[in-house]
């Protein structure tokens, strides 16, 4: 199971002190706003697992950006099999891979369409603005973690994340250089201005 998940950019590291806890890493899929970026989740199971679903918390947060309709700034993960969203519930036939695959399936090119009120409006301007802003902010978060040594995702990915994903992230940054934008009225009341030149400088310095 570990090899299959790793091929999809999903990794899981159990807590050495408590096997009922662990950290999951999902690497953002190509051609989405999350491309190459690490998304981390803390996992806590009870002794009733697999008859009772684990508790999963989204821990990649900058404290202000709603990176996905189903991933709250507070860490809440909205997923029916976790009992946090309407829909099919957890069954004992499921496992951690079921959860990670469900989350991975939500990381699409147009993530706002996972919000019920937006599912029929995928091409509205605000949908594109949301995707663009999320991409900028998740890259900012990734580089900030690298600069400040909060790069546990490198260890969790068996020391493969930097070599495989940094070139993708740098390419995205290069495509956006010289095109700084100010966003207003983004979904979830977000606003801000991009800083591609600044984050390229930070990433370049970090890699020296």
As given in the structure block, the two tokens for residue 36 are 């190459």
What's the DSSP call for residue 15?
E
Contact (Cβ atoms closer than 8 angstroms) between residue 96 and residue 43: yes
Task: Out of 37, 78, 140, 206, pick the active-site residue.
Answer: 78
71 contacts 108 by C-beta, under 8 angstroms: no
* CA 118 to chain CA mean position, Å: 20
**Annotation marks residue 206 as catalytic:** no
d(CA 108, CA 160): 23
Instruction: Give Cα separations from 69 to 42, 46, 116, 203 (angstroms).
Output: 18, 27, 9, 28
CB atoms within 10 A of CB 107: 23
Element (H, E) at 207: helix 196-207
Active site residues: 78
């Amino acid at each position: 199971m570990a090899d299959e998940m790793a091929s999809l950019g999903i990794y899981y590291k159990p807590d050495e002190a408590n096997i009922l806890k662990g950290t999951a890493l999902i690497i953002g899929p190509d051609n989405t706003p999350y491309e190459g970026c690490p998304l981390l989740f803390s996992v806590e199971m009870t002794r009733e697992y697999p008859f009772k679903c684990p508790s999963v918390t989204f821990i990649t947060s900058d404290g202000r950006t709603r990176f996905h309709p189903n991933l709250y700034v507070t860490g809440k993960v909205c997923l029916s099999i976790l009992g946090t969203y309407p829909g099919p519930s957890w069954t004992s036939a499921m496992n951690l891979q079921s959860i990670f695959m469900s989350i991975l399936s939500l990381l699409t090119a147009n993530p706002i369409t996972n919000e019920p009120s937006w599912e029929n409006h995928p091409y509205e301007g605000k949908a594109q603005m949301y995707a663009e802003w999320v991409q900028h902010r998740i890259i900012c978060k990734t580089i900030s973690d690298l600069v400040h040594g909060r790069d546990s995702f490198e260890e969790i990915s068996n020391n493969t994340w930097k070599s495989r994903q940094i070139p993708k992230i740098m390419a995205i940054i290069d495509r956006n250089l010289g095109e700084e934008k100010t966003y207003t009225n983004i979904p979830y009341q977000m606003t801000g201005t991009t800083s591609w030149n600044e984050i390229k400088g930070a990433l370049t310095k970090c890699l020296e």
